[in-house]
Each structure stands twice: as structure tokens, then as C-alpha cells.
Structure 1
Amino acid sequence: MISARDEDIYVDSLYSNYHVQFSSEELLLPLLTPPPDLYPTVLNKPSGLVTHMESKSPEKTETEQPTNIPNVQPVNYPFHPSNFLSVAFNKRAPLVQETPKKLRPSASVPRVLSSIAPPGANLYEATYAGVEVYELIVGNNSVMRRRDDTMVNATHLLKDEKLLSLFMQYALVAADEAIKDANYTPATELEREMTGVCIGSGIGSLQDITDGYSSFQAHGLRKVSPYFVPKLLLNMAAGHVSMKYGFKGPNHSVTTACATGAHSIGDASRFIEYGDADVMIAGGSEASITPLAVAGFSKLRALSTNFNDSPELASRPFDKDRDGFVIGEGAGVVVLEEYNHAVNRGANIYCELTGYGLSGDSYHITSPPDDGSGAARAMRRALAHSKADPGEIDYINAHATSTPLGDLVETRAIKSIFGDSVAVSSTKGAIGHLLGAAGAVEAIYAILAVKNNVIPPTINLNAFESEEFSLDYVANVGRDVSTTQRRSASGTGVKYAMSNSFGFGGTNCSLCFKKVDN
């Protein structure tokens, strides 16, 4: 949930669930399990876990800083910066056999049953015992498999399942968990009118489009569902949450590709800042593990294809062998709340959301400019909105999707502002790329790093292709920094964290979160 001092906003509830899928072949992705007292809720979407091996962070090599990234001047905002705090989130763990109490350096993370069986897996082996799967045919030799019991069911929230596409179900369940975690129930009509929803999706329901068209082709108009169009509209995730809970404030939806979830949180904060709401339910939802979506991203050459025999190694941000991302799906939702509103009702506050930076590359439909100037602009604007210096940022949750160009460009952008010393990690190595939900889920990881002083790792990171990769990438094991001196501020632990989200079309978003002294 988020709350704010006058115009300040705080987060006092978060929730996320995810499902991960691998490229256009049979898939399996081992996941880092979010411990219940550290990471956001994951309904049942992880397809496995990797065991963290004890390892040292890669040695850094001194390199010159890029000189071709323009200096972006701070932006003068008409209002005081909104402070967003996380004060609650769902604490259920994913479907795991066991979950560590807390992620610490060198902690061993157990494996779990896989949502997506690897090629030729013996489902009676101990690792995959009891895995129930169904198949989605992508091509002649490409099959995606999911465990039936990893599917989210939102019928307890909305009885008529015919109204709900899968991304809407994810959003409803995530919002329900976040609202419960915030212990928030508006009691009066005015409170309901001052509570809004801002939940977006990058793609929505491609499966309903393909199913609907197939039915239309085979049977004609009489078989077209009257719910066909409402199930396709991207704003219906927010709409269903609004209708379910009677929230009558801003009902808003964002679609900015892979930056959707982050922009949703940022836009929601502005509604509170401008006085349109006291409380906002905000986040992103995506359900893109479909044959058509996988085929489309495959044709873009965006997906990893070099690890089909060992898909647990496929998502490897910043590593020299990275060759594309791994598709995930699910939802991440936070509750944002004006500070006095949260304090007066005794909300449990996680952190402040102090900065929201936006920019456009104006360069290419899928690729960023080599100098990372668009990403750098978003980060600088988030810093300006936060009134924070680069040296005060202790952790950055990078957008890094495990693509050859994207990870390099983001590294350049980060170094141009923060130098080499800031801790940077990409949780996509563990959970895959949730597309429109990614920014919300990864914002939650940043929030919890601030709250718990534990930085999540970048897994599958073994080597770099050049000396340009000289950041501290928190390789392979999480890091407890509760007793570590901050970069440039007094005290220990994580005071400020940033979360980056970038999308096709050249859209960029950065969010800043700050520790709150309760």
C-alpha cells in the first residue's frame, strides 16, 4: 500500500504472481523462490527453482565511462514529489516443496516442481514427480507444457468466468491479495470515491482473439461470444477490480509494452498527488504464453533459443552467453496511499515512492539507441523528482531482459549516471520477462530490497563479453546489506532503490523508492 504526507504517497500493499515460459521450444525455467517474508506473493506461476551456488561476484575491470550520453537536466515539477510507500503485500509462497526463511548471501535455494516440463523429461523422476501438463502446439516440433495446478482461478472473485480473460483473472487475484494485505476496506461512499484503480496490460488476451476467430471461421456469426470484445479490452482488468470492490475513483489503464506495470504505478501516484484519489490500486497483468505470442516474439528473434536442452540456464541477464529473453506471465499489484490517510488508519508502510521518470527514445520500434540516452533520461528524471543524488541510490533493479543489445545499453546508461559502484541486478534471470506485468513485479522487488536490506541476485551470470560490463551485478547469490555502509549517505542498508522498465516503441520508465523511518 502506498501513502503520502499531504501530497506524498506511500505503498502499504503489494502482490504479484508469475508464470515463466521458455522460447519457442519445450520449456522449463528454474526460478528463484520469493521467501514469504522477503519477496512478493507468487500464486503458482514459477516453473522451477535454481539452486544458488556459492560464488564470488565477478571481478571488476576499470574502464572509461561512456562520453556519448548527453547530460539531462533535472525536470522542474509543478508539485512536490509524491512519496509512495509499500505497507503490505501477500505473503504466500509459490508452489514449492520448501522455502528458505530468508535469502542470505550463499543461501541455498531448493528446487521445486516445474510448471513447464523440459524436453524428454521423465515425469516420474523426483524433480518432476506429479507434474500434470497440457500442451500448446507452437510449430511442428515445438510444444509448451504447463502444470494444470499452476493455473490461476479467479471465480471466487467473479463467478461468471465467461467474462474474464486470463490476464484479467491474474489482475483480480493479485489485487485481492494486495487489498487484503493492506487491510484496506473503504467504509463510506466518499472513501470509495477517493479510491481508484490503475492496472494495465501490454498485450492482453491473444488467446481469446485466436479462439474467437477460429470459432467464427468454423461456425459463423452465431458462435461469436457476446463477451468477445469485453474480454479483449486491456482496460477491463482495472474495470473488473473497480467493479468488484466498488472503487469509484480514477479507473485508468496503461499500455506501454514492457513498461506498462511501472507506468501504471507512476501514473497512479500522480492521481494521488493531484488530489484525484487518496488510495490507488496499481500494477500490471499479462497472459502471453500462447502459441501466437511465442511465434511472434520468435520471429522478432527476441527469445532465447540456445538453451533448449538446459532451459533453466536460458534467462541470463548481462552474461556473455545471453541470447534472448524467456516469456513469463502473471500480475503484480501494489496499493498506493496518501501518507496521512495511511497513518490515520494504522497502515503498515514499506517505503516511499519518491520518483517517477519517463522518457522516449524516438529511435526504433524494438531497439534502444546504442548510447542508452533514453534510459538515462528516465533515470535522471526519476532522481530529479526524488530530489536524490545519484550517489544515494544503493540498488537498481535493472530492466535487463537477457538480450545482447538491451543489457549492454542499460549498463552504459547506468554507468553514465551512477558510476561502477551501485549494486545492480536483474530478477528476470529468476522469473523471466513478464512483459506488461514486469515493471510492477520488479518494482516490488525494489521495494522489498529497501524494506528488508536484502538485494536479490542476477542468476546464471558467469562471465562477461567485454570490460564494459564493470558494474556490481550481484551475481548468483542474494546479498544481505543490513550492516553494509551506504554508498554516500549515513547509515547502513538500502536507503534508495530504483526500478527500470523499458518497452518497444522506445518507452522508458524509472521509479525511485526510499526507506521510511516508522
Structure 2
Amino acid sequence: MKHPVYINSISSISPLGTSREEIWNNYKTNQHFIEKHDFTGREAFAARLSSKQTAEIEDLRNSESRFKGLDKSVLYSIFSARMALKEAGWDKGDSIGINIGSSRGATQLFEKHHAEFIKKGKVEVLASPSTTLGNVSSWVAQDLRVSGPDISHSVTCSTGLHAVLNGVVWLQSGFANKFMVGGSEAALTPFTIAQMKAMKIYATKDLKYPCQALNMEKDHNSMVLGEAAGVACISNNAEKSIAKITGIGYATEELKHSVSISANGKCFQKSMKMAIGDLAMSEIDAVVMHAPGTIKGDEAEINAIKAIFGNELPALTSNKWKIGHTFGASGILSMELAILMLQQNEFIPVPFSAISKAPKKLENILVNAVGFGGNAVSILLSKIK
């Protein structure tokens, strides 16, 4: 990187809450937000928004007539972007770029329209525009009346961190001064849950912690889905920043299987090396791992970390045991956890994992994400001193 990129704010909506204080307080407990829910007569574990948050999203939907036909993934993005803009102190109408992605996009709305087509043989007039992936960023741009570029994309589960990569490149190139980056996912639908179950990766055991992310002794896959959105305001301006991006890395590896990466996490090794750059390995205090809770997924990432760091591993953690895997939003929520740990100077461990111990300091934290397709992203975050 030519120079650091500064994070001026980060906001999210997830089962952890919406305010910075609420989210941090929920991280400090051993409570998780995963429960069994009914998906059209079939039970499955999932991490849903609270009833209070659901009501807030419905209030947003009903606040303007043009919002009524939007998918939840778009509404989550608008909600988070409004908070991020306010926290950053940026103004509506500014020249701000937007890149907010989603792995699945308008999942619920698409399934609704498809069900109607199967039943009636026709669809509503706005079925197509309301389910395009471009809605995620374009509606945020419309709501905030910004004049910069707006981009939506899907790079599966690394979507959120790919948005960060893209925003950083725009800022480093000088083509933009401010960017909003993030990810949104509202994919808790019967069809999506069935897809995950079909791959034999979904949690089925009714344990105290259904998602066993970073339990390296587990004998079963335990991925659980959650819903969330997160948006960060990034710029070249260090004033009022909460953290800084000091390294970015990315890589794609050749796949032997369509839904898994290599046993040694080759793409992770490449992305982490690129993000760390010339910094000494000993300067990396912690890694917020992707760690989906699957046996092979967790092992591959751990093997990659061991290959990079050797015997002196940084502290390792993940938040998926607490809020599930939020697909395209997951990397942004991991980044939010890293920023909170830097700000509070406190490490949040995984309560049932013995793989890591608290670090002596928290100044540089690596955040990882990877998605179907073997695409990994690593972002190095550093404390503002």
C-alpha cells in the first residue's frame, strides 16, 4: 500500500445489536445468538435479528413508499449505511463511493417471486429490478444522495472484504476521497438452508454451542447461518479515525473440489503474506479467522496460519460461534470485532477453544475471509496511536 487508509466509522446490524456499546457488551459474554427456527416445517439452527431490530427494519420499510418493495438485504444496507455516515460525520450528497456486496442478494424476495411464478405462471411487474444484486449499493446511493460510484458485487463469503479491497484501491489511486464499503446478507430462507444441508456442512447437534468454530477437536461439521449487514466509511483522512488499514492481501487457488480449499489453505497463505508485507510476523498480535465451523474449513485456515507464523502463533479468534456465518457480511463483522478489540485493548476469545491464548498487546490484527471459488482476502488493521 502507498499509505494507510483510515477507517472513520463502522456500523452494523446483526444479532449482536446495532450500537457500539451493545455489540461490545455482547462480545464480552459467552452467550451466543443461535437458536432453532422453523423453515417451512423443517427445523434448523440460525442466528436471527432480535424482535427489536426486526421492528426497526420494518419501520424503515414503512418510512417511505419506495422502500416497501425492497428485499431485506437492501434495507439492512440502508440501515447500516445511515449509521456509518452519521458516525463518520460525512454529509449526505457528498462525493462518496459505495461498494456494498452480497453473496446471495435479494434471496427472500427472489424466492417469493419464484414461488408465485410456479403457482400462477407469471410474476409481478417489478420482480426483475427488485431482485438485481445492484440494488444493494444503488439504493444506499439513492438514500444518501451521494454522487460517487456505486458498485454491488458477489464474491461469495469473502464479498465484504473484497469491498474493502476495492474501496482501498479507489482511494489509493486518487479517483475517490471517501468510500463506504460493506456487505449485507438476509439469506435465512428454507431453500438456502436446504442448500447448506445438502453439502453436509450444517450444524445438526443440539449442543450448548451449536457452531463449533475453532474447536479443533470436533468430529462433525457445524456451520450455522446468520443475517446481518455492516458498512465502514474509509478515507485518506486520519482525522477522527477509529483504526487504519495498513495492509491488504488477496489470492485465488486452483480448486480440487467446488466447495473447499486446499488442506494447507494456499490461498490464505498468499493473502496473509501480501497483507503483512514487510512487517515482522511477531508484530501480528491476533487473527480474526474466517473459521466457518466446518472440519476441513477450520483446519485449512489453521494450517495456513501455522505455515506462515511457525510455532509462534498470534492469538486466534472468530465470531461465527456467536452469530453464525453471515455470508457476504461476515468479513465486515469480523473487521468490526477487530476494530473493537483494538479500541478496547481487549481480546475476545472463543470460550470452548483451547487453540489460543490472549496476546500481550493488541496493535495489529489480521482479518481473514474466504469464499466458494477458493478466493481469500486478508486485511491488516492497526491501532491509531
TM-score (norm. length: structure 2)? 0.90
1:393 matched to 2:291? The reply is no
Number of the residue aligned with 1:314? 210
**Change in CA separation of 1:316 and 1:251 when aligned onto 2, cut-off 3 Å:** same
Query: For this pair of structures, how many residues does the alignment match?
Result: 377
Q: Distance in 1 between matches of 2:309 and 2:282?
A: 7
Q: Distance in 1 between matches of 2:101 and 2:140?
A: 12
Q: Distance in 2 between matches of 1:185 and 1:502?
A: 33
**Change in CA separation of 1:210 and 1:377 when aligned onto 2, cut-off 3 Å:** same
Name the aligned partner's letter for residue 454 of structure 1: E
- Check conservation: 1:12, 1:182, Cα contact below 8 A: yes
Q: Deviations over 1:171-201 (max 9, x none)?
A: 1111111111112115xx7xx23x1101000
Name the aligned partner's letter for residue 196 of structure 1: G
Q: How does 1:276-425 map to 2 (within 5 A)?
A: 276-307=175-206, 310=207, 312-319=208-215, 320-321=217-218, 322-339=220-237, 342-343=238-239, 348-363=240-255, 364-384=257-277, 387-419=278-310, 420-425=312-317
Number of the residue aligned with 1:91? 20
Number of the residue aligned with 1:167? 73
Number of the residue aligned with 2:323? 431
Q: Distance in 2 between matches of 1:499 and 1:143?
A: 26
TM-score (norm. length: structure 1)? 0.68
Matched residue SS, 2:61: coil
Number of the residue aligned with 1:247? 146
Matched residue SS, 1:263: helix
* Higher Cα Rg, which structure: 1
Deviation at 1:413, TM superposition (A): 0.5
- Check conservation: 2:36, 2:45, Cα contact below 8 A: no
Number of the residue aligned with 2:367? 499
Deviation at 1:156, TM superposition (A): 6.4
Deviation at 1:157, TM superposition (A): 6.2
1:137 matched to 2:40? The reply is yes
Q: Deviations over 1:401-456 (max 9, x none)?
A: 11101111111100111123310111111121111100111011112222221111
Deviation at 1:230, TM superposition (A): 2.1
Q: Deviations over 1:208-252 (max 9, x none)?
A: 22211221233343xx22221222212211111111111111211
Identity of matched residues, %: 24
Matched residue SS, 1:440: helix
Number of the residue aligned with 1:15? 11
Q: Distance in 2 between matches of 1:257 and 1:357?
A: 17
Number of the residue aligned with 2:156? 257
**Change in CA separation of 1:15 and 1:436 when aligned onto 2, cut-off 3 Å:** same
- Check conservation: 1:157, 1:244, Cα contact below 8 A: no
Q: How does 1:112-191 map to 2 (within 5 A)?
A: 116=35, 135-137=38-40, 139=42, 148-151=51-54, 152-153=57-58, 154-155=60-61, 158-185=64-91
- Check conservation: 1:272, 1:337, Cα contact below 8 A: yes
Gaps of 5+ in 2: none
Which residue of the other structure, out of 326, 329, 338, is the alignment partner of 1:446? 338
Q: Deviations over 1:386-405 (max 9, x none)?
A: x4222210010011111101
Q: Distance in 1 between matches of 2:248 and 2:41?
A: 39
- Check conservation: 1:206, 1:292, Cα contact below 8 A: no
Q: Which has the higher helix share?
A: 2
- Check conservation: 1:138, 1:294, Cα contact below 8 A: no
Q: Distance in 2 between matches of 1:176 and 1:437?
A: 16
Matched residue SS, 2:157: helix
Gaps of 5+ in 1: 20-32, 34-41, 44-89, 104-108, 119-134, 463-470, 485-492
1:199 matched to 2:124? The reply is no
1:209 matched to 2:103? The reply is no
Note the aligned Cα RMSD (angstroms): 2.6
**Change in CA separation of 1:299 and 1:278 when aligned onto 2, cut-off 3 Å:** same
Q: Distance in 2 between matches of 1:354 and 1:204?
A: 30
Q: Distance in 1 between matches of 2:165 and 2:351?
A: 28
Number of the residue aligned with 1:230? 129
Q: Deviations over 1:324-359 (max 9, x none)?
A: 2110111011100112xx53xxxx211110111110
**Change in CA separation of 1:117 and 1:360 when aligned onto 2, cut-off 3 Å:** closer
